[in-house]
Structures are given as C-alpha cells and as structure tokens.
Structure 1
Amino acid sequence: MDWRAVSPADVDALTELLGRDEEATVGRRESGPAEVRSMLAAPGLDLATRTWAALAPDGSLLGFAALHPAPQPGELRAQLVIAPCPDAPAVTAALLDRLDAWATHDLPTHDMSVTLYQLPGCQPHDQLLSRGWAVVHSSSRLTVALDSLGLPEHPASTAPTVRAVRAARNETDLRTVHSVLNEAFTGDPEHPHPDFEDFHHAQRRREGYNPDLWLLAELDSVPAGALIARDPVDRAWIAWFGVHPAHRRHGLGAQLLTTAFSLLHARGHRTVGVDVDTHNTGAMQAYTSAGMTLLGAADQWRRTYV
C-alpha cells in the first residue's frame, strides 16, 4: 500500500472514493465533484502537508484524511473517508494516527478540539470510539428541485417596501451581510468569524463564490436578515442563512430563500442543497417550508486533545 498527499488533480479519484463510502454506509451515492472541490478548498488547508491518502496497487484510493482550521477560531476540522475493502481497518488506523500527529502539532493550546463529520453507521465508528472520539451533534442535508417551485421570474426587490430582499451592491453591503449573520448566529459555535476580512477571504476561496448571491433582507429599511449562496458549475448551495432574532416571524426568511432559489434557477441550476444543524428546529422548518426535503444526516464527532 502506497501513501501520498492529494492535489486538485485527484478530484475524480476522491469523488469515487467518497461515493464508495456513501454507497456502503447509506446505500446510495450523495456527493459529487463539487463537494470534493469544496473540501479541498477549505480555508487554511495545506494540501501538501495536511492531506494523506492510501493507494491500492491499481492506483485507486482506499482512504483519505485531511486537517484544517474549523470555522470556529482555535479549533480544527478533520476529513476522513474510507473505502469498503479488506484493508479498511488498517487504512483507518493509519489515517487516524496521522490525524493525531497533525492535531497535536497544530492545535494552539491544550484542551482544544477537532471535529469530524461521518455518516451514521460509518466504517471507522469503533476505532473512533476507542481513540476518544464521541458523537456530539448531527447535521442534516436538504435539497430542492427548483423546477417544481413555480419561482418568480424577477425575484429581487428594489422598491423601498416595508419588507424587501435585495442583492448586495457594494462592499458596505457585504459587510452588512456579515454583520447580520453574526447577529443571527450569536451563541452558535459555527457562526461566521467576527472579523469581516477573514470571513470574506475564506468565502472567496470557496468554489462558486459570487457576491451577487449575497442577499440582504430589510424590514423598514433596517438590515434584518441575510443569505449567502454559492454558484459552482455543477451544484448550487446555501452557505449561510439567518435572520436577526429581533426580526423573526415577519416572513423575511421565506423571502430570502425564494429570492436565492430564483436567482440560482435563472443561472441554470435545477437543484439547491444545504447543510443545517439537525436540532435547529427553526432553520429546519424554514427550509422545509420553502420546499426543501431531507436527503440524509451526518454525525458530528469531536475529540479533545489534552
């Protein structure tokens, strides 16, 4: 078995690896090249030093691991994908050893955590438990077929109405989007980074970054909600979505989602996806009310290094 770091040239191989893992775990392939490209473009991920893959004799990938900064400052996010094969336990052990070594080196202080998302019933389950990992949360993936929604042809409102949704027009608006999201996600560990420059830099690195898809919802001309969508070639995605706590229950969330869906449909997309905290009943209701349906869920594992 050979080992090496991965590069953007491995997108197809990693997509196949991810598909095999999903097929073995939940019975269907859910992810495509866009998910892999997004994973490789994670802010702060150094492909040469913080990715590692196991290769079969025929050159196919048997497993993959990566480590990079998490959205919450001071923590790390791991990636782990294992193909169903006789060597899976050995591949898993070697990749977890590599993650341990990286985490010990990269975590800024002791008592800091690494998070990792895995499908329920994942192959590494028992090894993760034996090494001190624990399931602490879960995330749901939802999707919608845009052609079924009867979307308006011109979604964005520019008139000074009581409730209005519009695209960001300049950097000031981009900063306002970021500020509103921070207010909406107060107390949430996945909230946007409090520094706009860092947050915007991370967003620009993501495939499908498009400032025309940064949306503001206003109530009586006061910024009250925001949404950031991404527009890669083969997948549309809701990256961030929130309404200020003081302005909820005014229909702003529904208007934001309808506007985003219409803009993405006009750009040629037929489906839109989103990942959301399974226990955030308000967000789940907002998405399902807008026509999105549950595709699947993933467990959030965490290990604290002391």
Structure 2
Amino acid sequence: MTKKESLPQGFLTRPATMDDLENTVNLINYFTNHYIGHNETSIPNLRRDWETPGFKLENDTCLVINPQGEFVGYQEVWTINNPPVHPYIWGCVHPHFESMGIGSYLLTWGEKRAHQELSRVSQDLRVAIWADTDDRIEPAKRLLEEHGLYPIRYALRMMIEMSAPPPKPDFPKDIFLRSYNPKRDAKAVYQADNDAFRDHFGFIEESFEDGFPKFIHYFTNDETYDPTLWFIATSGDEIAGICLCNKWSNDDRDAGYIASLGVRRPWRKKGLGMALLNHAFGEFYRRGKRKVSLDVDAENLTGALRLYKKVGMRVSRKFVRYEKELRPGKEISVQSLDETP
C-alpha cells in the first residue's frame, strides 16, 4: 500500500504549546473513547508529560489542524534517554478524519524527528523506534505496520477486583515496612527502583544526573501522586523493595494503581513482592477502592506475571509494542536476564 505523506488541502501543522493542553487532551480522549470506551489522559497528566526534563514541545510534538481550526491529529516523539537508542513515538488521529493521510503524515514526521537524534548515539549502537498501541485499536496497528514497524512485545494491564478485604501481608523475617518521606527517601527510592528494574526488558542504564530528575518529575508531578501510598520495605539500613502507588489509574478513577513494584535481587523469591502487593491492596480497600491495577511485560523476565496471577489479578487490557530499526548495531537495552548489568 502506498503511504500518503501529504495533508489534505487547507490542513496545517505546527508544534504544540502549553495553550493547547485542553484541546489536545480532548482529541486524545475522543480517540480513546471511540476505540476503547474511556479517557486515557487529563490536563494535569499531559502537562506533566510536556514538562518532562528534556522534552521540548517545539521539537517533539506535531499537531494537525483542519481549516475550521479543529485539532484532528497529534504526534509526540520521545528522545530524552541518554543515549536515545529507542526513540518512542505515539500519536492519534480524530476518528472522523481517518483515511485522509493524516496518520501517515504524522508517523513520517515522527520517524524523521527520531532520525535527527542519531548523532547523539555512538556509531556502533543499534537504534530502533518503539511505538505502543492498545491491541484493540486496529487502525493504529495497520498504520504502524504499513510504515514498516512490527510487533515485538506485549504488555498487560492487570486488575484485581476485591469483594472482601485482601489477605494480610506476610513479610519475610527481618523485613520492615515504613512510610515514605520525600525529603529523606527520594534518592534512595529512585536507586531501589532503578536496581529492581535492571532485570526488565528494555532497561537502559542512565546516570543519576539524567535519571533522577525524570523519575521525580514523572512520579510526583501528577494529580494521582500521594506520598502516603508509597511503601518502602527495608532490611537494616537498605531498601529491599518498593511499592509506589497512585490514587487512581488514568483509565479508571475507580481503580487504584500500582505504578512501580520492585524487589532488589538479594531479597527476591522470599515472598516480599506478594507481601507488598497485599499491603497495597489492603490500603486501597481501606480507602474505599475495590479495584487495583498495574502494568506488566507479558514476557516479564523475573516472573512477575506469575505473581500477579497468583494473587488474583486478571488481564484487563493488552498493549502491543512495535519496533522499526533505524540503524543496525549493538543492542544496549536489556533483552534477557543474561544481559542485565
């Protein structure tokens, strides 16, 4: 199929600005409601994304506007990792304006934007675009495949619905749970999160100077942030595991959300992950939430999916990750446990 890379007559493009937050959120949520029946973002969430350190609206976003001034397409490109070996692209087209070449135009723009970052990556390293979509959005999947991207991985949204209080957590001996203090614990929690996720597909080592500001911005500059829902499991003076929760999920305000659950290597296979999960479930239940969700790689390298099923979680959504190689070379993101740093 021939890819159309021009826009209909009278349609314009420009980068987004902060003044465009509301209209862009409306476009994204109309798109997701049309295909999957619920909102996917909010003004506070998109503001947080647009204000992420290293993300530049003038370079990393593209809006398509029709002759009536309506927002009908949006694309964003993420190259904030250092080095940017996997530029991430995401976009949407208003369902009433499909089959007009807008999606192809935006995807082509996104790939060109990703190519501009090749100079930041050592010549011996592999560079490949990544893109995600909900598995139910067939037009998005077709568009990605028409542009040479192919599926490489799946992620799952897991959900538990509680009709009764969950089991009390059974923490391993010498493990103690304490509350999170933002002033005291932020750096240590970031390091624990980083260590726990070294064994996850796609992990790329970043310096503290690059990673910590983005971590704090992403997790705390959000309307769902509540430090009393961040739980720290300690062994002596060390953090053994973390469970960082949000007040609700972006796609379901009736559900609590576990944004990050991680156990460091020395404390794995001792029941700590299950104890942290049950503690989080219990706290959400106490606060009136009967549903809790989280996201997991369908081929998780550490066996997390088995744990989530064991505690009664089920799959509620499925996401497809697509890839397109821009330049061959050495792959530095984690692909298997044998490659973990």
- Fold shared by both chains (TM-score > 0.5): yes
Question: Paired residue for 2:50?
Answer: 40
Which stretch of the first structure deviates more once superposed, 49-58 or 210-219? 210-219
Which stretch of the first structure deviates more once superposed, 1-10 or 292-301? 1-10
Q: Map 1:34-113 onto structure 2 (within 5 A).
A: 36-69=46-79, 73-75=83-85, 76-107=87-118, 108-109=120-121, 111-113=126-128
Q: CA deviation at 1:215?
A: 2.8
Question: Paired residue for 1:249?
Answer: 269
Change (3 A) 1:200 1:276: same
Deviation digits for residues 111-163 of structure 1 (CA, Å, limit 9, x no counterpart): 41221111224314334223321111111123445x7452699x9x9xx9623
Secondary structure, in 3 states, of the residue corresponding to 1:29? coil
The structure 1 residue matched to 2:208, chosen from 193, 196, 216, is 196
Deviation digits for residues 260-292 of structure 1 (CA, Å, limit 9, x no counterpart): 345566677675442221222832233344454
Decide whether the 8 Å contact of 2:230 with 2:242 is kept in 1: yes
- How many Å separate the matches in 2 of 1:276 and 1:134? 20
Does 2:23 align with 1:13? yes
Question: Paired residue for 2:32?
Answer: 22
Change (3 A) 1:217 1:63: same
Cα RMSD for the two superposed structures: 3.5
Secondary structure, in 3 states, of the residue corresponding to 2:96? coil
Decide whether the 8 Å contact of 2:190 with 2:215 is kept in 1: no
- How many Å separate the matches in 1 of 2:139 and 2:261? 32
- How many Å separate the matches in 1 of 2:269 and 2:45? 33
Secondary structure, in 3 states, of the residue corresponding to 2:116? helix
Change (3 A) 1:8 1:187: same
Question: Paired residue for 2:332?
Answer: none
The structure 2 residue matched to 1:118, chosen from 112, 125, 133, is 133
- How many Å separate the matches in 2 of 1:53 and 1:127? 18
- How many Å separate the matches in 2 of 1:151 and 1:201? 35
Deviation digits for residues 213-249 of structure 1 (CA, Å, limit 9, x no counterpart): 4432235765321222345797553222111233223
Does 2:237 align with 1:226? no
Which stretch of the first structure deviates more once superposed, 76-85 or 255-264? 255-264
Decide whether the 8 Å contact of 1:138 with 1:297 is kept in 2: yes
Q: CA deviation at 1:296?
A: 0.8
Change (3 A) 1:137 1:179: same
- How many Å separate the matches in 2 of 1:99 and 1:296? 26
**Which residue type is aligned with residue 132 of structure 2?**
Y
Structure 1 runs of 4+ off > 6 angstroms? 265-270
Q: CA deviation at 1:99?
A: 0.7
The structure 2 residue matched to 1:140, chosen from 156, 161, 165, is 156
Decide whether the 8 Å contact of 2:155 with 2:297 is kept in 1: yes
**Which residue type is aligned with residue 297 of structure 1?**
K
Decide whether the 8 Å contact of 2:79 with 2:117 is kept in 1: no
Question: Paired residue for 1:287?
Answer: 308
Q: What is the identity percentage for the equivalent residue pairs of Structure 1 and Structure 2? A: 22
**Which residue type is aligned with residue 223 of structure 1?**
I
**Which residue type is aligned with residue 137 of structure 1?**
R
> What is the number of residues matched between the two proteins?
300
Secondary structure, in 3 states, of the residue corresponding to 2:109? helix
Q: Map 1:147-186 onto structure 2 (within 5 A).
A: 148=163, 150=165, 162-169=174-181, 173-186=185-198
**Which residue type is aligned with residue 114 of structure 1?**
I
Secondary structure, in 3 states, of the residue corresponding to 1:66? strand
The structure 1 residue matched to 2:296, chosen from 250, 256, 276, is 276
**Which residue type is aligned with residue 88 of structure 2?**
R
**Which residue type is aligned with residue 157 of structure 2?**
R
Q: CA deviation at 1:200?
A: 2.6
